[in-house]
């Protein structure tokens, strides 16, 4: 090779490098054995189709697993993780390049590729890797984040990874001294180590280089072999969970066919009732604690940690999974499975009670914050709802308050238990048409149970009607035939009641030929848009926040400035509803409506996808908070801390919860729905 061409001898001073390949093969065997063992455990779960739309799945895996998009959302630790990940990737590319040159005879380690990638790029990547390792070790050792679970093995693995990085630089420094490398400046970090060995003889440099090179490789292969049995296995499992993520709209629950006569049980009553993907999720959890940090139940002192839930299921899989497999093998062979006393104790463990505490199960608001924050895109909420479904449907084990809500829904079609004939009382004096009167109306307006029965939210319904009429929107309501959408019943695990309510609503809507529905409750919107199609109800659902923003943008609602009106509040903080924000990705539209009212939007500490739940979701609107602090009070305090003149929201549950939270603190900060703010700004009569 031309001496003027930048290059280096790929394996200077190393003999017997062929031993690397048997070692690598052994690592692959160890990894394959691990996956085979774990795969067999995952397969005890129920079947689930997650192989459709492969290109879309590959794209998601590339973005979230390879590009680390979700990981870096948490700036500090995310950047450190990215440094470790990118550093490792670049070093793997460099190692593979030298292997290609040595074993395949392809002369590629030269020229600009050598200088910019194999020399400078690899050194920078190695430095980033080492810095990331130090940062991770310090972070865990400091123990400042209680949600970050650290085991001794975690520190050990990180320390050995750091050793691999540092010894790599030392080996590079020895090579530079031993070869008097003219291109040493392009390996700046390795070159820093070179002066340490300048006083050694050539033989000493050669010996030290050989010993340390093999030590470096031994540690690397040792870590690779142990990789599968440590937390580091998430590097392989997370891409799998991301690839197998649900592609349905957010919050869509699995369909339960109540008409299937072969189904003897509903929901998840034991480990093997979960799907194989649920069991994979449990194993893929990296214990990072992001889910726990954002969980409103955990943050308010409730006995729920999404991280602990996953870890409990993983531990249970490890002890119960092999026994279930053994039992199934014996059954297939026509033999009796006779567990030991210890094994019987494991099999007799109740999923809810012994593995998952009932108090934890019913603390969940299904807000989705855990799933939004999880870098592995694990599905926590469906697991909670699945277990609730079994508890309600098969065990009749649920909070006492839920019984009253279920009874009211069943007998009166609303959770308040008020008579169906009073559902239109909210519209008194407004002359609101029903579909019976105007079946040709473009939109069906769905006020929901809150908008129809709750005294406070009736005002929102009237404000929205005023706005729709001002904008010339052609609409009608169902009237007394409208029933609860069933969302709360379903999230609390009562699939039977949800089915009853949903099918009746679908039949009514289809009978009138309804196509487009205006919904002011995000929970209703979730059910109508994403749950009802499973039962044959397919409608175009328009959330009132989106509709109002569009009407303002089109000039059909002029806004305060164009209307010459003065804003009632100068500074307004907007609370993102979980089911409108995280579930439907509606963030900008309600803020645009607030701004159209002439107000300045000031943000709370936790906002948009990181919004703190009001505490009403998942049916918890009807349940008591007996442990810790009330979530609505915590959110009310966050709103008050902004110094805003008012709080805005676009969800009837949030409106009620925030008003109650502020009232409990004797705080007079007003709470308004965005429809009320806009109606007031336009001075509309309602």
Q: How many CB atoms lie within 10 A of CB 399?
A: 17
CA proximity to 604, closest of 632, 628, 640 = 640
What pLDDT, on a 0 to 100 scale, did the predictor assign at position 452? 95
DSSP track, 70-123: TGGGSHHHHHHHHHHHHHHHHHHHHHHHHHHHHHH----SBHHIIIIIIIIIHH
Q: How many CB atoms lie within 10 A of CB 384?
A: 26
CA proximity to 449, closest of 389, 384, 399, 505 = 505
Alpha-carbon distances of 40 from 129, 240, 325, 645, rounded to whole Å: 34, 16, 8, 58
Cα distance between residue 573 and residue 575, in whole Å: 7
H or E stretch covering 649: strand 646-649
Q: Which residues pair with 446 in a beta bridge?
A: 519
Cα distance between residue 213 and residue 225, in whole Å: 18
Cα distance between residue 226 and residue 157, in whole Å: 9
Q: Is 519 helix (H, G, I), strand (E, B) or coil?
A: strand
Q: Is 666 helix (H, G, I), strand (E, B) or coil?
A: coil
What pLDDT, on a 0 to 100 scale, did the predictor assign at position 500? 95
pLDDT < 50 regions, the chain: 1
Cα distance between residue 20 and residue 38, in whole Å: 27
* Residues ≥6 apart with Cβ < 8 Å to 638: 604, 605, 606, 612
Q: Which residues pair with 494 in a beta bridge?
A: none
CA proximity to 155, closest of 83, 234, 209, 232 = 232
Contact present, 615 and 363 (Cβ < 8 Å): no
Cα distance between residue 535 and residue 631, in whole Å: 34
Q: Is 391 helix (H, G, I), strand (E, B) or coil?
A: helix
What pLDDT, on a 0 to 100 scale, did the predictor assign at position 227? 78
E-state strands within 442-487: 443-446, 475-477
* pTM metric for this prediction: 0.88
What pLDDT, on a 0 to 100 scale, did the predictor assign at position 3? 60
CATH code that applies to domain 15-242: 1.20.950
Q: Is the CA virtual torsion 506, 508, 511, 516 positive or negative?
A: negative
Contact present, 642 and 602 (Cβ < 8 Å): yes
Q: How many CB atoms lie within 10 A of CB 334?
A: 6
Domain 269-396 architecture: Orthogonal Bundle (1.10)
Contact present, 187 and 119 (Cβ < 8 Å): yes
Q: What is the residue whose two structure tokens read 């990118």?
A: 86
Contact present, 116 and 162 (Cβ < 8 Å): no
Cα distance between residue 136 and residue 461, in whole Å: 52
Judging by DSSP bridges, how do beta strands 516-519 and 443-446 pair with one another? parallel
Alpha-carbon distances of 557 from 54, 106, 465, 628, rounded to whole Å: 44, 69, 13, 44
The distance in angstroms from the start CA to the end CA of the chain is: 87
Structure token digits, residue 116: 């910019």
Contact present, 490 and 253 (Cβ < 8 Å): yes
Q: How many CB atoms lie within 10 A of CB 254?
A: 14
Domain segments of the chain: what residues?
15-242, 269-396, 399-680
Structure token digits, residue 244: 């197998």
**Chain centroid to CA 121: how far?**
34
Cα distance between residue 343 and residue 320, in whole Å: 8
Structure token digits, residue 258: 């109540």
């Amino acid at each position: 090779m031309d001496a003027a061409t930048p290059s280096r001898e790929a394996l200077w001073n190393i003999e017997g490098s062929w031993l690397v390949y048997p070692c690598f093969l052994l690592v692959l065997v160890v990894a394959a054995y691990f996956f085979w063992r774990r795969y067999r455990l995952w397969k005890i779960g129920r079947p689930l189709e997650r192989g459709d739309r492969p290109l879309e799945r590959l794209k998601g895996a590339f973005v979230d697993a390879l590009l680390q998009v979700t990981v870096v959302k948490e700036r500090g630790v995310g950047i450190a993780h990215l440094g470790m990940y990118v550093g490792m990737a670049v070093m793997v590319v460099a190692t593979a390049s030298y292997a290609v040159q040595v074993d395949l005879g392809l002369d590629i380690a030269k020229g600009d590729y050598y200088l910019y990638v194999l020399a400078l790029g690899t050194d920078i990547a190695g430095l980033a890797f080492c810095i990331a390792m130090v940062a991770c070790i310090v972070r865990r050792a400091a123990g400042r984040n209680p949600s970050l679970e650290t085991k001794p093995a975690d520190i050990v693995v990180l320390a050995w990874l750091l050793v691999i990085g540092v010894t790599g630089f030392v080996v590079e420094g020895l090579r530079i001294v031993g070869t008097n490398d003219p291109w040493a400046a392009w390996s700046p970090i390795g070159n820093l180590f070179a002066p340490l060995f300048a006083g050694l003889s050539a033989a000493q440099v050669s010996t030290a280089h050989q010993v340390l090179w093999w030590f470096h490789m031994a540690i690397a292969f040792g870590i690779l072999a142990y990789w599968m049995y440590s937390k580091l296995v998430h590097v392989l499992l997370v891409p799998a969970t991301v690839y197998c993520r649900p592609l349905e709209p957010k919050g869509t629950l699995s369909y339960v066919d109540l008409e299937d006569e072969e189904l003897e049980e509903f929901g998840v009553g034991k480990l093997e009732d979960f799907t194989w993907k649920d069991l994979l999720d449990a194993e893929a959890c990296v214990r990072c604690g992001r889910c726990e940090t954002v969980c409103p139940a955990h943050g308010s002192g409730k006995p729920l940690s999404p991280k602990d839930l996953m870890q409990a299921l993983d531990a249970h899989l490890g002890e119960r999974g092999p026994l279930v497999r053994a039992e199934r093998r014996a059954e297939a062979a026509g033999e009796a499975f006779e567990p030991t006393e210890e094994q019987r104790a494991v099999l007799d463990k109740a999923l809810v009670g012994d593995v998952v505490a009932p108090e934890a199960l019913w603390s969940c608001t299904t807000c989705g914050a855990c799933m939004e924050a999880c870098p592995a895109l694990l599905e926590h909420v469906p697991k909670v709802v699945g277990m609730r479904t079994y508890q309600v449907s098969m065990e009749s084990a649920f909070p006492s308050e839920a019984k009253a809500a279920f009874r009211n829904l069943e007998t009166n079609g609303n959770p308040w238990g008020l008579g169906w004939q009073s559902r239109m009382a909210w519209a008194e004096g407004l002359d609101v048409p029903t579909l019976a009167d105007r079946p040709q109306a473009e939109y069906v307006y769905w006020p929901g149970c809150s908008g129809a029965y709750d005294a406070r939210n009736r005002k929102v319904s009237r404000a929205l009607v005023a706005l729709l009429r001002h904008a010339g929107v052609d609409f009608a309501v169902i009237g007394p035939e409208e029933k609860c959408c069933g969302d709360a019943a379903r999230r609390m695990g009562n699939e039977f009641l949800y089915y009853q309510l949903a099918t009746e609503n679908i039949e009514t809507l289809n009978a009138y030929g309804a196509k487009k529905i205006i919904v002011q409750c995000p929970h209703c919107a979730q059910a109508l848009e994403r749950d009802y199609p499973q039962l044959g109800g397919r409608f175009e659902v328009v959330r009132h926040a989106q509709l109002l923003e569009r009407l303002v943008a089109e000039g059909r609602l002029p806004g305060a400035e164009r209307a010459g009106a003065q804003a009632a509040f100068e500074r307004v903080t907007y609370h993102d509803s979980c089911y409108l924000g995280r579930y439907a990705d509606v963030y900008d539209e309600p803020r645009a409506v607030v701004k159209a009212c002439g107000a300045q939007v000031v943000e709370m500490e936790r906002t948009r996808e990181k919004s703190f739940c009001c505490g009403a979701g998942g049916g918890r609107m009807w349940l008591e908070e007996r442990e810790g602090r009330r979530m609505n009070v915590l959110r009310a305090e966050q709103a008050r801390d902004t110094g805003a003149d008012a709080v805005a929201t676009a969800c009837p549950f949030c409106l009620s919860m925030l008003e109650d939270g502020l009232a409990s603190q004797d705080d007079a900060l007003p709470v308004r729905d965005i429809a009320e703010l806009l109606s007031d700004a336009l001075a509309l009569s309602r």
